[in-house]
Amino acid sequence: MTQPGDNSDHFHPVIENIIFVAIVLVILQMIAENLAVIYHVPQDVTTGIIIAGFLFDLLFTLEFLGRLFVSGKRSGMGYYLKRQKGWIDFIASVPLLLLVSGPALLARFGNIEEGGTALEILMVMKTAKIIRVTRILRLIRAIRLFGHIHQTDSAMTNRHMGMLSTVCVVALIVVLAASHYFPFARTGDQHDYLAWRTPQLNAMIAAFAGDGSRETLLEFIRTNPINSDLIVLKDGSGAELYRSPDYSTLLWTAFHAGRDIPLAGGWSAVLSTHITDGERAKFELALLLCIIGVILFIMFGYAPIFAQQVSDPAFVMLKGLRNPDYNFEVRIREDLARDEIFQLARTFNEEWLPLKNRMRKAKGSESEEKSSLTMEDL
Amino acid sequence: MNDRQQKMSLFLDKLWNNPAISRKPVRKKEREILNFIRENQASLQKVFSSPDYFPGESWNDSVALLLSLLVEKVLDSLAPQIDRIGQGLLQSGVIAHFDSKAGVDARCFGEFLTGLMRTRILRDQYHIVIETITLDLFRRYMPPAIVQRKTIYNEIVRRERLDLDANLIPEFMNAASLFRPLYYHRIPYKKDLPDLVSLHEARLDRKLYDTAVHAMKDYIRERVGQVPECIYLPGLESCLDASAQPDIAGASKLINIMVNRCEAYDPDVKPDRGAESPDKSWFNINRRDAREFGYDARMLDELYQIAGDEGW
C-alpha cells in the first residue's frame, strides 16, 4: 500500500477537469431547479431539470465509488472517507441518487393518478427533501480543486480553506436541517401549509354552502389568487364543482399524489404544493447564494489573509531551512509580532539566518556545491 | 589551434553551453565546470583516454589543457565587460579629476585586468568586482545615501574631504573597487629579490604590510600608469577588517560591504511572498555579525534602511 497522501484519491487530470466542470454545472442545475419551482415553469422544462439532476447524481455517485476504489488501493478507504473528505462526496452523491433524483425521475415517468409504487416513491422523496440541500456540499470538492489552482504552493492553505469552507457550509446545512423541526423556523413545509390551508378552504365552503350559488363560489375561487393551488374541489356528494384550468400542469405537484383531501361537510379538494414548494425553493436559493458568497469570501477574502499571516511566513522559513541559497528574512508585521508564527519568524530571522550565513562563510560557500552538470549531459 | 586543442575546446563548449548552466553568470559557470571536473574525475579519465579523445595521454595533461581552455573561455566571455568598465572608468573623468596629468590607457588597463585574471585567486575576486559594477550597486545606493547625509556620506565625503560631484561618487567607488583584488596579488617587495608577498599575507606584520603597500604602489604605477592613490588605496584596503581598523577610508568599508553583497547575490533565487526583499534581508542578516565579518555596522544599518525604503 502506498503512503497516504493528498493526491491518493485523484483521477487522471482529464477526469478531474470533467468533474470540476460537472460541479460548476450542477450548481447551475440547482439554481435552475429552484427557479423552476419558484416560477412554476412548464412540466417538460422541469422534467429536463429532473433528468439533468439524476444524471449529475449518477455521475457523482460513480465518482464517489471510483475514488473509494482508487484510494482503497492507494491509501485505504478509511483515509479517503475521513481525511480526504470522502464523507462529503458520499453525502452529496449516493443518498441524493437513491432518495431524491432517482425517485423524482421514477415519479415523473410513472402514473401518479394510479397510485401504487410511484406514489410511495413520491412519499419517500418528500420526506427526503431535506437532504436535497446537501448537493451544495459538492462545492467543497470544487474548492479543493480550485484551491490547488489558487494556492499552489501551500498545502496548509489549501487544506485550511477546504476545512473552513466545509465547516461553514455544513453549519449552514445543519441549521437549515434543524430548522425543519421547529414550526416557528421552518419555511415551505408542506404539512404546515396544509394545516394552514385546510381551515381556509373550510371557511370558504361554509360561506358558500348555505345560500351561495355555484357560480359565486367559482367566481370567488378564480378571483382570489390564494386559490391558485386548488386543483379540484368536490362537494359533499362527490360531484366536481371546480377544476383548475391548469389541471394538467398542477396535478403532478398535488398533495398526497393527487388523492382527495377531506374537508368539512364531506367536501374534498385536490391541492397543489407549488406555492409552498416555491417558498422552500426561495429559501434554498437564498441559502445556496449565501453559501456561494461565503465560499467566495473565504477564497478571495480570507485565503490571502491566512496566507499572509500564517502560510507565507511558514513557507519562507521552510524554504530557508531546506535551501542553502535561499536567505530571505520573513517579513514581520509589527502589529502581529506577538503571534506565535511571527515570534518563530523572528527567531528564524535573528538566529537561524545569521547562523546559516556564518556556516556558509566558514565552509567557503560555493566551492563545495554540487555541480548542476552531469556526465549524462555530455 | 591544433587538433588536440580543438577536440578539448569542443568538449568544453558542450559543458559551457549546457542548458543547466548556460544562463548563469560567468563566475558560476566556471565554478560549475570546475565542480563537475572534480566530481566526475574517474569518468572523465575514461573519456579522455578513449580513442575519440587523447589515448595514451596522462590525466594531468588532459585536465591541464581543459583548465587552460576554460580560463581562456572565461576571459573571452568577460572581455566585453572589462572593456566597458575600462572605457567607463576613463570617460567618467574620475581619474582626471584627482590628477589631470594621470595617464591611464583603457586598452592597457583592460590588458592589465585580463592578465591578473589568469590567476585563479584573482579571477575569483575580479568576477565579483565586475559583477558589483555591472549590477550598479554603487549607482543604486549612493544617491539616497548622499541625500540622507548620514554615516555613508560622512565617512566617504566629509571625512575624506572628497571634492567630487555627487554623480561621480558612484564612478569613484567603481574605480576604487577595481583595485580590491590586488590585495591578494603576490608581487616582489624586495628590490632585486624574487620573493613575493601579497598584502593579505603581510596583513599581520605591520612593517611588512607597509613595505608591501609601497611595493604595490610602484607595481600599479608601472603596470597601469599614474593612478591617484585616493582611488586605488580604498580598493586595496577594502579587504581589511573595518571593526579592527576603524580608520580605513569610508570608501573601503562600503566597497567591502557591496562586494560581499554581490558575492551572495543569486539572480535565480527570488524571494517568495512573505519574504523580505533580497538586499534588505542580506543587510539585516549581516549587520548582526558585522564585527565578525569585518563590516562597518553603522553603514549596514543605513544600507538596510535604504533598501527597506526603496524595496530592494
For residue A210, what pLDDT is reported? 65
Contact A172, A290 (CB under 8 A): yes
DSSP B194: -
β-pair partners for B275: A330
For residue A128, what pLDDT is reported? 55
Whose CA is closest to A290, among A96, A180, A136? Answer: A136
Q: Is residue A7 within 8 angstroms of chain B, CB to CB?
A: no
Inter-chain residue contact B276 with A366, CB threshold 8 Å: no
Contacts of residue A361 in chain B, CB cutoff 8 Å? 293
DSSP-derived pairing of the beta strands A230-234 and A240-243 = antiparallel
Q: What is the pLDDT along chain A (378 residues), one digit of tens a residue?
A: 334 445 566 778 888 888 888 888 988 988 998 899 898 888 788 889 989 999 999 999 999 999 888 888 877 888 888 877 788 888 888 888 888 888 888 877 765 444 445 545 554 555 455 566 677 777 776 666 555 545 556 778 888 888 888 888 888 888 877 877 888 888 888 888 999 999 999 998 888 766 667 788 888 888 998 899 999 999 888 889 899 998 888 887 888 878 899 998 889 999 999 999 899 889 888 888 888 888 888 888 898 899 899 999 999 999 999 998 899 999 999 999 999 999 999 999 999 999 999 988 887 755 567 888 888 777
Q: Show which of residues 150-179 on chain A sit within 8 Å of chain B, judged by CB atoms.
A: 153
B274, containing H or E segment: none
Inter-chain residue contact A327 with B36, CB threshold 8 Å: no
The half-sphere exposure of B309 on its side-chain side, counting CA atoms within 13 A, is 11
Task: Show Cβ contacts of residue B28 under 8 Å, excluding neighbours closer than 6 positions.
Answer: A366, B21
Q: How close A335 comes to chain B (CA, Å)?
A: 15
* Grid coordinates given for B95: 581619474
Per the listing, cell 555530455 goes with A378
For residue B2, what pLDDT is reported? 82
Cα B66 to Cα A65: distance, rounded to the nearest angstrom: 62
Inter-chain residue contact A329 with B280, CB threshold 8 Å: yes
Contact B40, A378 (CB under 8 A): no
Which contacts qualify for B99-108: CB closer than 8 Å, 24 or more apart?
Answer: B99/B226, B99/B228, B101/B226, B102/B225, B102/B226, B102/B227, B102/B228, B103/B225, B103/B226, B104/B224, B104/B225, B104/B226, B104/B227, B105/B225, B108/B224, B108/B225
Inter-chain residue contact A312 with B39, CB threshold 8 Å: no
Q: Which of A315, A347, A363, A373 to mutate to test the interface with B (most CBs of B within 10 A)?
A: A373
Whose CA is closest to B125, among B223, B255, B295? Answer: B255
Inter-chain residue contact B289 with A372, CB threshold 8 Å: no
Cα B131 to Cα A98: distance, rounded to the nearest angstrom: 70
Nearest residue of B to residue A348, measured between CA atoms: B285
Whose CA is closest to A74, among A2, A13, A12? Answer: A2
For residue B185, what pLDDT is reported? 95
Cα B106 to Cα B204: distance, rounded to the nearest angstrom: 35
Residue type, position A357, single letter: N
Model's pTM, two decimal places?
0.77
Cα A144 → chain centroid: 14
Q: Is residue B21 within 8 angstroms of chain A, CB to CB?
A: yes
Cα A363 to Cα A377: distance, rounded to the nearest angstrom: 28
A–B interface: beta-carbon pairs under 8 A: 98
Cα A132 to Cα B136: distance, rounded to the nearest angstrom: 65
C-alpha distance across the termini of chain A, in Å: 39
Out of B20, B275, B289, whose CB is closest to A372?
A: B20
Cα B139 to Cα B169: distance, rounded to the nearest angstrom: 8
Out of B15, B35, B284, whose CB is closest to A329?
A: B284
- Positive or negative, the CA dihedral A312, A317, A320, A321 is negative
Cα B156 to Cα A185: distance, rounded to the nearest angstrom: 78
Out of A323, A357, A378, whose CB is closest to B285?
A: A357
- Burial class from Cβ neighbours inside 10 Å (0-12, 13-18, 19+) for residue A305 reads exposed
Inter-chain residue contact A327 with B284, CB threshold 8 Å: no
Compute the residue count for chain A: 378
Per the listing, cell 379538494 goes with A269
* Grid coordinates given for B250: 569610508
Inter-chain residue contact A307 with B292, CB threshold 8 Å: no
Inter-chain residue contact B272 with A315, CB threshold 8 Å: yes
Can you list the alpha helix ranges (DSSP code H) found in A92-189?
94-96, 102-109, 117-127, 138-150, 155-179
For residue A110, what pLDDT is reported? 66
The beta strand positions in chain A, using DSSP E, are 230-234, 240-243, 261-262, 268-271
B278-288 vs A353-363: helix axis angle to the nearest 10? 80
For residue B250, what pLDDT is reported? 95
For residue A2, what pLDDT is reported? 38
Cα B75 to Cα B106: distance, rounded to the nearest angstrom: 17
Q: How close B296 comes to chain A (CA, Å)?
A: 16
Inter-chain residue contact B33 with A371, CB threshold 8 Å: yes
DSSP-derived pairing of the beta strands B187-188 and A240-243 = unpaired
Residues in chain B, pLDDT under 50 = none
